[in-house]
Structure 1
Amino acid sequence: MKILSAGQIREIDAKTIHYEGISSLELMKHAAGAFYDWFTKKYTDKNDAILILSGVGNNGGDGLMVARLLHKAGYRVQACVVEYSENYTEDCAHNVRRVKAENIPFKRITKEKEIPNFSEYDILIDALFGTGLSREITGIAAEVIKKMNESGKTIVSIDVPGGLFPDKKTTFAVEADETVTFQIPKLALYLPDNYRFVGNVTIVNIGLSEKAIAEASTNRYLIEKKDIRELLKPLSKFAHKGTQGHALIIGGSLGKTGTVCLASKAALKTGCGLVSAYLPKCGTPVIQTHFPEAMAIEDDNSAFITHIDYDISPNAIGIGIGMGKREETQHAFYRFLQKNALPMVIDADGLNILSLHPEWLDLLPPKTILTPHPKELSRLIGEWSDDYEKIEKATAFAQKYRLIVIIKGAYSLIIDSDNLYVNDSGTPALATAGSGDVLTGIIASLLAQGYEPGHAARVGVYLHGLTANLTQQTIHPRSFVASDIIDNIGNAYFTIENGMIKK
């Protein structure tokens, strides 16, 4: 699904009106109706007192039309227009007249003393500003937003939280619990800096012209399940372990061989035919006991890696997990990079070693996948002031070294030389020890199975996150561990392929 700028969204709105032969007011009805359908499914108690806070633009018109729909359905609704300007859009002014005609409780707010007592309401619906906002919020709008955020009430934002800039850093905005956005994802809704403003994000279809959307050019995308379904390779009836790829997992040190166990098991569970683990001697009895399906290759050293020598022919490699940064290990890693040309995913200490020796980045095969968490990323690309600068610097880094960078976190970002992808699977349950090791194994497996690196990155991150989504009702996020990811990879495949969990 395309992620577009505010300007592109305005253009699509205009083209929809032209292509579909409808009025702007009719499009507003579609948007309000889509929000209403979502809202009434989630908030079913009609005794809840609902206050809708609208602006004077078309987002405010959306809010007033929502007020009309909810009032007609029997909800207890009051509508307010925060009059930060006397210049109403035509469609917003129309809905002000209709709200009054339909005897919906209504008032204008022009000064602080006119702001309602929010403690008298259960739900606040924010329709203050849309995606066209270009300046910082001041005056009465700022006062209203401040009091909304201090109210402790449930806040639901229409399209974007009031005050959130869709394409640049935001410092002050409505702090919504839920954001119901209209059909086209906005990058700002998925950035860590904005989470306190955005809350949970839901996309609703409002009938925008598919032709207009297709005509919009972008290199930013939100990954959806259907995208992943299209990328999955079919499994032949005549497949065997020799046709499904051989993944080599390299890592581990004394006390950290569990990382290799997790990655190796994840690799096999993701579908490759063979998995070998290269690790120090101390890890051999561990992995042979914990995961006998893996083949173990020992380093000469008992406690950490000093050489990376093997006589097998893997199809792809995952390296760096639990490896440590001892000088001997760094030298072994360097010698390995000098001769390796296989598809590869690098994580953890592999990334930390690269940050110590940035000149080694030139040795990486094109489209090598790096999987840093934010701190590991900062060691590679330097610090950033906000998420937009982070993306800019990570993109320049990926382009310079011809790499794919996965920035792990809520809504993991996948950045290559050409595109940015936002992953929307996953929950906070994934914030657990070993989660990144499992992702390394998943991606290494997909590379070994012959997936193009960009596809392996997207499929791997989505699969990884989906396991947490699927267990929300059965495993509490606080109790979720990395092994639960591995145990649910199969169900994630079932869900992507069939839309359901196999019982």
Structure 2
Amino acid sequence: MKILTPSQLQKTDAYTIEHQQISSWELMERASLAALKEIKNITLNPQPVTVLAGSGNNGGDGLAIAYHLDQLGYKVNVLLLKYTPKLSKDCKINLDRLKANTSINIQEYIDTSSIEDLKIESIIIDAVFGIGLNRTLPNFVEKIISSANKRTALRIAVDLPSGLFLSKLTPENAKVFKAEYTLTFQCPKLNFFLPAYGNDLGEIKIIDIGLDQDFIDHLETEYEYVDEKFITKFYKTRQRFSHKGNYGHLLIVGGQYGMMGSVSLAAKSALKSGVGKVTVLSPKCGVEVLQQSVPEAMVIAADQNESVSPKELKFEPSNICIGMGLGQSEQALGTLKYFITEAKTPMLIDADGINLLAQNKDFLKALPAQSILTPHQGELKRLIGEWQDDYDKLEKVKSFVKTYNVILVAKDAYTFIASQDKIYINSTGNAGLATAGSGDTLSGIISSFLCQKYLPIEASILGVYAHGKAADIYANKYDENSLIASDIIKYLKNVFLQLKSHKH
């Protein structure tokens, strides 16, 4: 799903209105009814509602929602925050409809007078500012938003929380409506996925309002949102007449004394993701551990007892996964250099391997084209340098992948997968993934798909999605706190079952 800029969204609205031969008010009504459907699903039964509406088209959405909620039997209270005295055309139409056809209490505010008398109900719907906001909230709006944020009410934002910018970064310490649900129209927005105000959005629900899809398909975008529909376009099911050789042979290099769990998790997750064969090159101390914990994997003992070292192989792996538990010693550096030199296909580098690359940037130029790096945020800083803000970080990521011709999987609450021409933002995963071994598991999953002849960018996107989805399935059944890396591996089967059912 494409992530559009505010300008592109406005152009898409205009094109839809013209080519579907509808008025802007009719499009607003369509959007409001679609939002209403989600609100009914969230609230279940009619409850007292306060709608915060602004003077523009986002306010018009809110007033339309207020009207339809009233028709459904909800007790509705409207606070019209007139940050500009003249309402937009469609906002005024909806205000006039409210006044003529309902007995809804409408309180109008143009300043901070009588702010103590605010009547806030058990549900608050925020429709004050939409995608065009590019300045901090007016003082009286800030005060009302702050008051709403302090209430124990269920908070729902229409399109985006008021106070959040889309065309640039939201200023630090800006007042933003703290939503538990954000009902965004047609597509997600880039700033939703940046850390500074990501917690203000709650659960994001993307609502299709029938904007012209052909027009959207022809728009050039820098960012793409990865959901199940996107994944099923390239997910491949197994062929009946096939054998393990068709699904690749992965070599995993890593581990040291006391840290064999990392390569064990990578091997297990790779096998559970469908790779034909896995061989682990491990220090001698890890051989017995691996053969007991992952009997399906083959193990080669390095010459050293407590740390892994290069070894000439008697087979040519489809791809190499290296870095987990590798350490950062001179020997570890030599091992990494050896396998970068030996690799004939894209490889995946994680953990200590990334830290070694950050200390030895010349190695980056020697990587096979389209190799995959999977840093967490600390490792990312070591690779690309410190950033001033999230936009600066994105520019540095784009420059890095173009300079070294790699795929960068930047792990975070929303993982960004950067290729030469686009950044993909993953939709799955939860806070339970902040647990030891989670990254090792992800490396195994992505490497498995790489061996199964997915393109490196496809393997990365699919791997991140499946990893996060397995965690979501677990969390929905149990909870996020108890999730450990082994649970991710266990629930991969559920992910593939879902993908297969949607494929057919």
Normalised by the length of structure 1, the TM-score is 0.96
CA offsets 1:226-259 (integer angstroms, 9 cap, x no match): 2211212231111111221101111111111011
Residue 453 (str. 1) matches residue 456 (str. 2): yes
Aligned partner letter, 1:73 = L
Cα separation, 1, equivalents of 2:238 and 2:194: 36
Cα separation, 2, equivalents of 1:106 and 1:392: 46
Give the Å deviation of 1:339: 2.8
Greater shift in the superposed pair: 465-474 or 51-60: 465-474
* Change in CA separation of 1:205 and 1:117 when aligned onto 2, cut-off 3 Å: farther
Cα separation, 1, equivalents of 2:216 and 2:239: 36
Cα separation, 1, equivalents of 2:278 and 2:474: 27
Give the one of 191, 200, 205 matched to 1:202: 205
Give the Å deviation of 1:119: 7.1
CA contact (8 A) 1:118 1:148 kept: no
SS of the residue aligned with 1:473? helix
CA contact (8 A) 1:167 1:187 kept: no
CA contact (8 A) 2:83 2:141 kept: yes
Give the Å deviation of 1:401: 0.4
CA contact (8 A) 2:59 2:129 kept: yes
Give the one of 280, 285, 310 matched to 1:282: 285
SS of the residue aligned with 1:249? strand
Cα separation, 2, equivalents of 1:432 and 1:28: 43
Give unmatched runs, 5+ long, in structure 2.
none
Residue 411 (str. 1) matches residue 436 (str. 2): no
Aligned partner letter, 1:65 = A
Cα separation, 2, equivalents of 1:188 and 1:452: 28
Give the one of 234, 242, 245 matched to 1:242: 245
Greater shift in the superposed pair: 327-336 or 85-94: 327-336
Give the one of 376, 379, 384 matched to 1:381: 384
CA offsets 1:318-355 (integer angstroms, 9 cap, x no match): 11011111111112212222232222111100001111
- Give the structure 2 partner of residue 106 of structure 1: 106
CA offsets 1:99-142 (integer angstroms, 9 cap, x no match): 11122111101122333656752111110111011222232222
- Give the structure 2 partner of residue 16 of structure 1: 16
CA contact (8 A) 2:253 2:308 kept: no
Aligned partner letter, 1:18 = E
CA offsets 1:158-204 (integer angstroms, 9 cap, x no match): 00111111132113221211110001221111222221221211101
- Give the structure 2 partner of residue 233 of structure 1: 236
CA offsets 1:343-369 (integer angstroms, 9 cap, x no match): 211110000111111121101111111
Give the Å deviation of 1:215: 3.0
SS of the residue aligned with 2:62? helix
CA contact (8 A) 1:263 1:438 kept: yes
Greater shift in the superposed pair: 108-117 or 13-22: 108-117
Greater shift in the superposed pair: 185-194 or 72-81: 185-194
Cα separation, 1, equivalents of 2:118 and 2:356: 53
SS of the residue aligned with 1:112? coil
- Give the structure 1 partner of residue 304 of structure 2: 301
Aligned partner letter, 1:248 = L
Give the Å deviation of 1:281: 0.7
Give the Å deviation of 1:154: 2.3
Tell me how many residue pairs correspond in the alignment: 499
Q: Sequence identity, in percent?
A: 39
- Give the structure 1 partner of residue 59 of structure 2: 60
- Give the structure 2 partner of residue 75 of structure 1: 74
Give unmatched runs, 5+ long, in structure 1.
none
- Give the structure 1 partner of residue 94 of structure 2: 95
Give the RMSD, CA atoms, in angstroms: 1.5
SS of the residue aligned with 1:287? helix
* Change in CA separation of 1:117 and 1:156 when aligned onto 2, cut-off 3 Å: farther
Cα separation, 2, equivalents of 1:310 and 1:50: 68
Aligned partner letter, 2:318 = N
Aligned partner letter, 2:108 = R
Alignment map for 1:415-434 (pairs within 5 Å):
415-434=418-437
CA contact (8 A) 1:119 1:151 kept: no
CA contact (8 A) 2:319 2:343 kept: no
Residue 470 (str. 1) matches residue 469 (str. 2): no
* Change in CA separation of 1:278 and 1:302 when aligned onto 2, cut-off 3 Å: same
Cα separation, 2, equivalents of 1:118 and 1:296: 68
Give the one of 313, 318, 325 matched to 1:315: 318
CA contact (8 A) 1:315 1:343 kept: no
Give the Å deviation of 1:152: 4.0
Normalised by the length of structure 2, the TM-score is 0.96
Give the Å deviation of 1:153: 2.9
CA contact (8 A) 1:308 1:336 kept: no
Greater shift in the superposed pair: 174-183 or 381-390: 381-390
Give the one of 475, 487, 490 matched to 2:490: 487
Aligned partner letter, 1:142 = E
CA contact (8 A) 1:60 1:127 kept: yes
SS of the residue aligned with 1:247? strand
Greater shift in the superposed pair: 239-248 or 168-177: 168-177
Give the Å deviation of 1:488: 1.3
SS of the residue aligned with 2:124? strand
Aligned partner letter, 1:2 = K
